[in-house]
Amino acid sequence: MCGIFAYTGKGTKDAGKVLLHGLTALEYRGYDSAGIYTPESGSIKTPGAVAELKKKVPKKFNGKSGIAHLRWATHGEPTKINAHPHSDCQGELWIVHNGIIENFKELKEKLVKAGHTFVSESDTEVFAHLVEEHMKKTKDFEKAAIAALKEIRGTYGMAIQYKGEPEKLIAARMGSPIVLGVGKHEHFIASDASPILPHTKKVVFLEDGEIAVITPETHTVYKLEGSRVTRAPEEIEWSAEEAQKGGHEHFMLKEIMEGAEVIENTLRGRLIPEKGLAKLGGLEGVTKKLAKIDRIIIVACGTAYYAGLVGEYMLEEHAGIPVEVELGSEFRYRKPVINEKTIVLAISQSGETLDTLEAIREGKRRGALTLGIVNTVGSTIARETDAGVYNHAGPEIGVASTKAFVSQLVALALLTIFLGRQRGMSLVEGKKIAKELKALPAKVQKIFEEKGAIEKLARKYSGARDFLFIGRKYSYPVAFEGALKLKEISYIHAEGCGAGEMKHGPLAMIDEKFPTVALAPSDSVYEKVFSAIQQIKARRGPVIALATEGNREVEKIADDVLYIPETLEMLTPILSVIPLQLFAYYFARNKGYNVDRPRNLAKSVTVE
């Protein structure tokens, strides 16, 4: 996720100021680098957040129109050179882009052969050169932009400006949001409405496959294939803050609701379903070494640690590699037995968690191959590991991790296919997992239809002071993650427990005031979990069961049931965690707590 903002006006407002102000509203969307361009004053780019850019932009940065960008890095390190806006060879065409151009490598090769010179590693720069190439033939900015858009594959929300026609800006949307702002003698393009709202409340939301052309006085929307779209502007009454949250009350809810998109983004370009293979570019350099390793130690903290536990089950069952999972804080002070056939794999959203980082450093000192599953491009863990897989989940603002967990599980499933197919995993099995991964976004979307029911349930149980979460096999780590979500944002006692372990202690706590959330999908251990539910009911404990659609049996015994669609056993956690995230969210929101910033906790823990 990046933030883009573009402006064209009659000159009554200074475009430089309008753009910088707008970027501040978009700041939550990316803080790796920032950049601005106006045809009159040129471009300024810098690593870091908007504040850095503000320091570098001189007072006299004039212009009537321009484009600006905040980057959340995906392709290429977060350096000045990779910062947007990107331009063509002549510095005449300028682009800001949110998304990923999947076929940028092929296009780049073609363009290099045609004589184009590239300065960055960014996929976006390719697009600027592609428009330039088409301009040579068509001599028409709009036609060239459309021809270039037809050649790219991937996702984009972008704004394009041509120095030769400075008043005109082109916007395009495919998978990444674009909002047009319709003002008096001025128009805007942005990733969300927040930077537009101080100027106008009239907006037009673009849909996938649409492009828009704006000038100070006009805006025109087309479909990429050419037909005209007539859509009257809507008036929005959101505050700028609500607009940042996509109209949701909190970032946490917005991030949970991004689940389906996050799965798509983590998978994008990485599956070859017909061959049952995973293509992980970040591991290409170590493919041979990976074929020889005989053990994996996953190190992580918090939510990422629970993702690691799911990964252990996936990798052992389907790739046949022995796996251990350790908390970073434990691993770094032990004397772990490691050799050059060991992988130490860090899982970290921020890529900065000190205990995880130190665990990686310890692994390296002891000769292991170090890998990372990291969301933040260019973070310390990403830089210090030998190779890795980026999540591409976009920035996560809510302190309680939600979409990053979903993405970590998807990345672990990809790694399981990758390593499994190097070993004993059959083509049939590889294909089966790949096919089911592709089906997940639609299934996640189906869970969101139950949002209202989950909200009601959170209200029904709002008086409880304690919760037990139970699960077995793949649902065991999810039970711990469900409990962690609840305690970290609603400050009540919640504990996770293996459904089989309950009888060794936790069952003693159960009475009619102590509810249990039981993860009971229809998998290989369903009957065992069902009997754990019976044991709880025998002690009059209330039970909320999470079951697979179509299971009527569990309704007879549990007090309440939430359903998830059916999937492969190893992928069930990707679905089952979502109702638990929503339950925790509504539970805490009902209490009136600041769910995005729970007391005493931090998003990135860079201290011991």
Instruction: Give 38 or 356: the residue with its C-beta nearer to ligand G6P.
Output: 356
Q: Strands 271-272 and 277-278: what pairing?
A: antiparallel
Of the candidate residues 18, 193, 319, 400, the single one contacting ligand G6P (CB under 6 A):
400
What is the footprint of ligand G6P within residues 294-333 (CB under 6 A)? 301-304
Half-sphere exposure of 119 (CA within 13 A, CB side): 14
Interface with ligand G6P: number of residues (CB under 6 A): 16
Active-site pick, 2, 168, 245, 254: 2
The answer to whether 120 contacts ligand G6P (rule: CB under 6 A) is no
CB of 399 to ligand G6P, least distance (A): 5
Give which of 592, 583, 588 is closest to 489, Cα–Cα.
588
Active-site pick, 431, 432, 451, 603: 603
Q: How many residues does the chain have?
A: 608
Of the candidate residues 43, 46, 79, 401, the single one contacting ligand G6P (CB under 6 A):
401
Of the candidate residues 161, 329, 348, 572, the single one contacting ligand G6P (CB under 6 A):
348
Distance CA 364, CA 332 (A): 11
Distance CA 222, CA 544 (A): 49
Judge whether 338 and 312 are in contact, CB under 8 Å: no
Judge whether 580 and 544 are in contact, CB under 8 Å: no
Give how far Cα 436 sits from Cα of 23, 271, 429, 595, Å. 39, 11, 11, 32
Instruction: Give 278 or 346: the residue with its C-beta nearer to ligand G6P.
Output: 346
Of the candidate residues 114, 119, 442, 601, the single one contacting ligand G6P (CB under 6 A):
601
CB of 454 to ligand G6P, least distance (A): 21
Of the candidate residues 243, 371, 399, 574, the single one contacting ligand G6P (CB under 6 A):
399
Could you report how far apart the first and last alpha carbons of the chain are, in Å? 30
Of the candidate residues 38, 122, 349, 380, the single one contacting ligand G6P (CB under 6 A):
349
The answer to whether 356 contacts ligand G6P (rule: CB under 6 A) is yes
CB of 269 to ligand G6P, least distance (A): 23
**Residue 301 known to be catalytic:** no
Q: Residue 139: CB partners within 8 Å, gap ≥ 6?
A: none
Query: Which one of 106-114, 175-183, 399-407, 547-555 is the stretch in contact with ligand G6P (CB under 6 A)?
Result: 399-407
Give which of 90, 21, 89, 25 is closest to 54, Cα–Cα.
21
Judge whether 485 and 400 are in contact, CB under 8 Å: yes
Instruction: Give 252 or 271: the residue with its C-beta nearer to ligand G6P.
Output: 252
**Residue 438 known to be catalytic:** no
Give how far Cα 303 sits from Cα of 244, 310, 379, 404, 477, Å. 25, 11, 18, 9, 10
CB of 25 to ligand G6P, least distance (A): 25
CB of 488 to ligand G6P, least distance (A): 7
The answer to whether 380 contacts ligand G6P (rule: CB under 6 A) is no
Of the candidate residues 24, 445, 590, 604, the single one contacting ligand G6P (CB under 6 A):
604
The answer to whether 103 contacts ligand G6P (rule: CB under 6 A) is no
Residue 194 tokens read as 């927040």
Q: Residue 288: CB partners within 8 Å, gap ≥ 6?
A: none
The answer to whether 350 contacts ligand G6P (rule: CB under 6 A) is yes
Interface with ligand G6P by CB under 6 A: which residues?
301-304, 348-350, 353, 356, 399-401, 601, 603-605
* Residues belonging to the active site: 2, 603
